[in-house]
Structure 1
């Protein structure tokens, strides 16, 4: 599965942080979606690339929604990877794989008292429908057979290892808690054992 294109894109975030990414596209990804890899920092100089598999979140990444921690995680990941050298994989898996409209339907149920996982189940979805086969394909195409993974989600490292990618170490992301998302973060810890130290954010 070859790399399709590589293009240099200067990045600037709302807080003024700037860096440059090489944005990479692929052909023949297993799920047919248009996932991206952003090469950041000195990838070639890194012993093992630092990798963040970031699932698309239009509400958080684009509009700054406070109902999740996705936007701050994306911003943090870009800076950490730029310092270390590695890849941010931007995966088109909105709403833990259920899609944008279904995610917003789940939000409506959360407003009635359900947590994020209960809402997914009420809509007929699994807790997390993401599959990282395409991510493993992307890393293989980039020559990254071993990675350090930036995540709080144990399922990501488990799936990557099962798909043949060596995860040398797992580095947790920061805790981006707010009044609007703390119950969401608590649900991630309770239901899917995310390594989020909410005590440090209180």
Structure 2
């Protein structure tokens, strides 16, 4: 990749030149690229959904930057030396829902006080994890919030559950923009 230093002609240049070139500024450097071609044809349903999601992310990021608390929260993850702005962090947070990597049921046999451990991660922050335990017939045994211990989320059972056969445990993880991921595991 060629690099031009101290070029007085292109320094600070921004915009489109005819239908050939586009000049833009990134991290204090002038970037020259080929002008994009205009899209032809109808967008597919997946493309429309992605476009809508990205528009939602842009609106969320603008609102987050207008909120001093959220703006400061996202500022902690920005890195201007790498071109990662507070705005970029907020957009990415909405675009990426949390992942539930593991539900550890080894400490749960249906007794109150037993623990269910959940590993949930997000590109920015998981703010809540809820657990719901249902019997095989769909009746609710219990539900509640897990507690973050720094490495994983811990749910402490509160109800007695004598028959675990066919029971299912549903875990939901939520992040700041209210993206929610759900994972169900059968016993």
More helix by share: 1
Scaled by the length of structure 1, the TM-score of the pair is 0.22
- Structure exhibiting the larger radius of gyration computed from Cα positions: 2
Greater relative CO, 1 or 2 (CA 8 Å, sep 6+): 1
Please report the TM-score for the alignment, with normalisation by the length of structure 2.
Answer: 0.23
